Structure 1
Amino acid sequence: MGSGYTQLSITERRRIERWRHAKGAVDEMARVLKPCRSTIFREPRRNQFRDESMSKCDGYFGAAAQMMASDRHARQRKLIKYPNLVKRVVERLPNGWTPEQISNRMIHERAVPRVR
């Protein structure tokens, strides 16, 4: 089994950017940065900067990649998107419920949306 997942930091993304511009090997990047090698392959595709009006500026840039990843992460936060969900979770916390218990109870109640 692999180690725990951690997201790439801005520093790591900038290092990937420099290695890509220098045409460095992905295996070498993975060895130095320590993430799974597939992360290094996926990162530039997932966070590639594209702008129709400035096509010569397209490419992978560490700072732009960090902003895209942060935006994507923020959009997926259910407790921010759904105020009623927050209310249901917060009601149960003072009663000593753990996050796992709250989540399982919501599954049992067939609550939509629910935390996972």
Structure 2
Amino acid sequence: MARVLQRSKATIYRELKRNFFSDECMPKCDGYYGAAAHFMAADRRARQRKLIRHPVLLHAVIDRLKNGWTPEQIGNRMIHEGVRPRVCQETIYRYVYSKEGMAQELWWYLPNHRKARRPKYARKKRPPKFDRDVSILFRPDAAPALPPIQPDPVHKPDRGRCATGWVGDTALARML
């Protein structure tokens, strides 16, 4: 079946296991049915998220976030204390970056204060190498007129020599 559908065997197994229809009243009808699988998937999609279903849990998480706890600390502390129901750190992050969490500006209480979530190993956006004032992208179309360059005078006064042998106005020598 996996070869015909061009899917992994594990994917087919998970689909069958997750959407297997069973009814105690009619045990002969147990099995996988596409229509039943569709209804089960729609039911899972319509189910509210855990933090929205449990307002007491939501308030506990928000209070701890505002007290400076990270989502990892909150989730692990709930496991350690044996709190039921509890949430993992990923659930907390999803709520913080959801529409409801953004309305409460919960991202501000995270350690990095990021408004948008970034994948862990994604490339980090680097700041520009040059300021906007000197960047080639923002230069004017026409350069301002500069005064003409004057030729050097024919007679130059002797300015002396540095320790390195170079003329003093051309290079600077470090005094030892």
Compute the TM-score of the two structures, normalised by the length of structure 1. Answer: 0.48
| Structure whose alpha-carbon radius of gyration is higher | 2
Compute the TM-score of the two structures, normalised by the length of structure 2. Answer: 0.35
